Structure 1
Amino acid sequence: MSVRLSRLLSVLITVPWVMTVALTGAASASGQPGDRITTNATYHNDAGVVGADPHVFFDEDSGYYYAYTTKGADPGYRFGIYRSPDLVTWEHVPGGALDVDDGTQWGHDWFWAPEVYHNSETDLYYLFYSARLNENVAEHFRHPDFEEPSKLGVAVAESPRGPFRNITDHPIDYRPYDPEYHDVNQIMGPEQKKPPETLAEGRTAPLGTYIPSIDPNVFFDDNGRIYLYFSRNAYRNWVWDHERGKYIETSNIYAVELTTEWWHDPTGRTMPTVRPRYVNANKDPQDPPGVRKDGFTPILNYRSDKQEWENAHVNDYRESGGELKDRRWEEGSTVVKRYRNVDGKRVPVYYLLYSANHYKSSEYGVGYAVSDSPLGPWRKSDDNPILRQDPRLPMYSTGHGDVVRSPDGSELYYVHHGRPSPTSNRRLYTERMRFLPEQPDVSGAASLAIDQSVGDEPIPSGVAPYSLTTDESLIDVGGREPTELRWTVSSAAGAAMDLSDPLNRVAVTLGPSSSVVVDSDADSATVSGDQAGVTALTLRYQRRRAGGDHADVDNIFAAGTAGERHEPVAATIPVVGCTSTITGTRTAALRIDRGVICLKGATVTGPVHVASGASLVAVGSTIAGPVRARDAGSVWLSDTTVSGPVDIRGATGLVRLDGTTITGPVAVTASPAAITIARSVVHGSVTLRGNLGERAISVGDNIIDGLLKCTGNASKPTDVLHPNSVHASSSGQCGKV
Structure 2
Amino acid sequence: MRKSVLFLVGLLLLAGASPAAATVSSSKPPTYFNNAATPGADPFVHFDRASGYYYAYSTEGADPGYHFGIYRSPDLATWEHLPGGALEAGKAGTWAHDWFWAPELYHNEKTGLYYFFYSGRMNRNVAEHFKYADFEEPSKVGVAVANSPAGPFRDVAPGPLDYHPFDPDYHDVNLIMDAAQKKPPATLEEGQSAPLGTYLPFIDPNVFFDADGRIYLYFSRNAYRNWVWDTDLGKYVEESNIYAVELTDDWWHDPEGRTKPAIAPSYRDANLDPADPPGTRKDGFAPILDYGSDKQSWENAHVDDYAKTGGAKKDRRWAEGSTTVRTTDEHGKPVYRLTYSANNYENEHYGVGYATADSPLGPWRKSPANPVLAQDPAQGVYSTGHGSITASPDGSEQFYVHHGRPSTTDNRRLYSSRMRVAGPLAIDLTTADQPMPAGVGPLGVRTGERLLRLRPGVAGGTEVTVRSAPGAAFDLANPLNRLRAKLIPANAGTVAVTGGRVEVTMHRPGAALLEIGYQRLRADNSYADVSRARTTVPVLSR
TM over 0.5: yes
| Amino acid corresponding to residue 478 of structure 2 in structure 1 | D
1:531–1:575 contact (8 Å) kept in structure 2: no
2:215 aligned with 1:229: no
Q: Which of residues 533, 539, 542 is equivalent to 1:575?
A: 539
- When normalised by structure 2's length, the TM-score is 0.94
Residue 121 of structure 1 is matched in structure 2 by 110
Give 1:167 shift. Answer: 1.1
Q: Which of residues 269, 272, 283 is equivalent to 1:280?
A: 269
Quote the Cα distance in structure 2 between the aligned partners of 1:227 and 1:80: 25
1:231–1:331 contact (8 Å) kept in structure 2: yes
1:307-346 mapped onto 2 (5 Å cutoff) = 307-342=296-331, 346=332
Give 1:481 shift. Answer: 4.9
Residue 373 of structure 2 is matched in structure 1 by 387
Q: Which of residues 327, 340, 344 is equivalent to 1:354?
A: 340
Residue 50 of structure 2 is matched in structure 1 by 61
Quote the Cα distance in structure 2 between the aligned partners of 1:322 and 1:167: 42
Give 1:433 shift. Answer: 0.1
1:531–1:576 contact (8 Å) kept in structure 2: no
1:279–1:293 contact (8 Å) kept in structure 2: yes
| Amino acid corresponding to residue 537 of structure 2 in structure 1 | I
Q: From the superposition, tell whether residues 171 and 154 of structure 1 become closer, same or farther in structure 2 (CA, over 3 Å).
A: same
2:149 aligned with 1:160: yes
2:342–2:352 contact (8 Å) kept in structure 1: yes
Give 1:102 shift. Answer: 3.4
Quote the Cα distance in structure 2 between the aligned partners of 1:97 and 1:211: 26
1:175-190 mapped onto 2 (5 Å cutoff) = 175-190=164-179
Quote the Cα distance in structure 2 between the aligned partners of 1:223 and 1:488: 42
Give the match's secondary structure for 1:366. Answer: strand
Residue 304 of structure 1 is matched in structure 2 by 293
2:385 aligned with 1:399: yes
Quote the Cα distance in structure 1 between the aligned partners of 2:152 and 2:377: 41
Q: Which of residues 361, 370, 373 is equivalent to 1:375?
A: 361
1:183–1:208 contact (8 Å) kept in structure 2: yes
Q: Which of residues 476, 484, 487 is equivalent to 1:507?
A: 484
Give the match's secondary structure for 1:305. Answer: coil
Aligned length: 516
Give 1:101 shift. Answer: 3.7
Residue 130 of structure 1 is matched in structure 2 by 119
1:380-438 superposed Cα distances (whole Å, 9 cap, x missing partner): 000000000123211011010000000000000000000001101000000000146xx
1:63-102 mapped onto 2 (5 Å cutoff) = 63-102=52-91
Give the match's secondary structure for 1:569. Answer: strand
Quote the Cα distance in structure 2 between the aligned partners of 1:528 and 1:102: 51
Residue 486 of structure 1 is matched in structure 2 by 463
1:286-297 mapped onto 2 (5 Å cutoff) = 286-297=275-286
Give 1:240 shift. Answer: 0.4
Quote the Cα distance in structure 2 between the aligned partners of 1:104 and 1:405: 37
- Unaligned 5+ residue runs, structure 1? 1-38, 437-445, 555-567, 579-737
1:455-604 mapped onto 2 (5 Å cutoff) = 455-478=432-455, 481-554=458-531, 568-577=532-541
- Unaligned 5+ residue runs, structure 2? 1-27
1:82-115 superposed Cα distances (whole Å, 9 cap, x missing partner): 0000011100010000011432411010000000
Quote the Cα distance in structure 2 between the aligned partners of 1:102 and 1:247: 40
Quote the Cα distance in structure 1 between the aligned partners of 2:438 and 2:503: 35
User: Once the two structures are aligned, what percentage of the paired residues are identical?
Assistant: 60
Greater relative CO, 1 or 2 (CA 8 Å, sep 6+): 2
1:477–1:531 contact (8 Å) kept in structure 2: no
2:203–2:219 contact (8 Å) kept in structure 1: yes
1:158-187 superposed Cα distances (whole Å, 9 cap, x missing partner): 111111001122000000000000000000
Give the match's secondary structure for 1:527. Answer: strand
2:183 aligned with 1:194: yes
1:554-611 superposed Cα distances (whole Å, 9 cap, x missing partner): 1xxxxxxxxxxxxx21011121225xxxxxxxxxxxxxxxxxxxxxxxxxxxxxxxxx
1:391-470 mapped onto 2 (5 Å cutoff) = 391-435=377-421, 446-470=423-447
Give the match's secondary structure for 2:220. Answer: strand
Quote the Cα distance in structure 2 between the aligned partners of 1:435 and 1:124: 28
Residue 16 of structure 2 is matched in structure 1 by none
| Amino acid corresponding to residue 332 of structure 1 in structure 2 | G
| Amino acid corresponding to residue 539 of structure 2 in structure 1 | V
Quote the Cα distance in structure 2 between the aligned partners of 1:61 and 1:394: 36
Give the match's secondary structure for 1:472. Answer: coil
Give 1:515 shift. Answer: 4.9
Quote the Cα distance in structure 1 between the aligned partners of 2:377 and 2:506: 55
Quote the Cα distance in structure 2 between the aligned partners of 1:479 and 1:385: 64
2:492–2:512 contact (8 Å) kept in structure 1: no
Quote the Cα distance in structure 2 between the aligned partners of 1:517 and 1:104: 58
2:100 aligned with 1:111: yes
1:538–1:571 contact (8 Å) kept in structure 2: yes
1:104–1:166 contact (8 Å) kept in structure 2: no
Give the match's secondary structure for 1:139. Answer: helix
Give the match's secondary structure for 1:514. Answer: helix
1:264-317 superposed Cα distances (whole Å, 9 cap, x missing partner): 000000000000000000000000100000000000000111111111100000
1:191-224 superposed Cα distances (whole Å, 9 cap, x missing partner): 0000000000001111000000100000011111
Quote the Cα distance in structure 1 between the aligned partners of 2:341 and 2:502: 46
2:228–2:236 contact (8 Å) kept in structure 1: yes
Give the match's secondary structure for 2:218. Answer: strand
1:127-174 superposed Cα distances (whole Å, 9 cap, x missing partner): 000000000000000000000000000000011111100112200000
Quote the Cα distance in structure 1 between the aligned partners of 2:144 and 2:51: 21
2:234 aligned with 1:245: yes
Quote the Cα distance in structure 1 between the aligned partners of 2:90 and 2:530: 45
Quote the Cα distance in structure 2 between the aligned partners of 1:194 and 1:430: 39
1:640-696 superposed Cα distances (whole Å, 9 cap, x missing partner): xxxxxxxxxxxxxxxxxxxxxxxxxxxxxxxxxxxxxxxxxxxxxxxxxxxxxxxxx
1:81–1:97 contact (8 Å) kept in structure 2: yes
2:181 aligned with 1:204: no
Quote the Cα distance in structure 1 between the aligned partners of 2:62 and 2:93: 18
Residue 718 of structure 1 is matched in structure 2 by none
Give 1:530 shift. Answer: 4.4
1:484–1:524 contact (8 Å) kept in structure 2: yes
Give 1:477 shift. Answer: 1.1
| Amino acid corresponding to residue 222 of structure 1 in structure 2 | A
| Amino acid corresponding to residue 296 of structure 1 in structure 2 | F
Give the match's secondary structure for 2:298. Answer: helix
Quote the Cα distance in structure 2 between the aligned partners of 1:471 and 1:104: 46
